[in-house]
Amino acid sequence: MARVAEERPLAQVTLGAEPTRDGDPLQAGWAAKDVAIEVLGAAGFTQVTDKGKVVNGVEPTLRAVDGQGRRWWFEVVGGRTSNRPGAQRIELLWRAIAKGAVVAAADPDAMFGVLTVGLPSAAGGGAALAAVTGPDRPVAVVVDVLAADAADVLRRA
Q: What is the mean pLDDT of residues 116-145?
A: 87
Report pLDDT digits (tens) over 38-78.
999 999 999 999 998 999 999 999 999 999 999 999 999 97
Q: What is the CATH number of domain 29-156?
A: 3.40.1350
pLDDT tens for 19-33 read 455 555 555 667 889
Alpha-carbon dihedral sign for residues 58, 115, 45, 21: positive
DSSP, collapsed to helix, strand or coil, labels residue 143 as strand
Candidates 63, 78, 81, 129; CA nearest to 101 is 129
What's the whole-number average pLDDT of the chain? 82
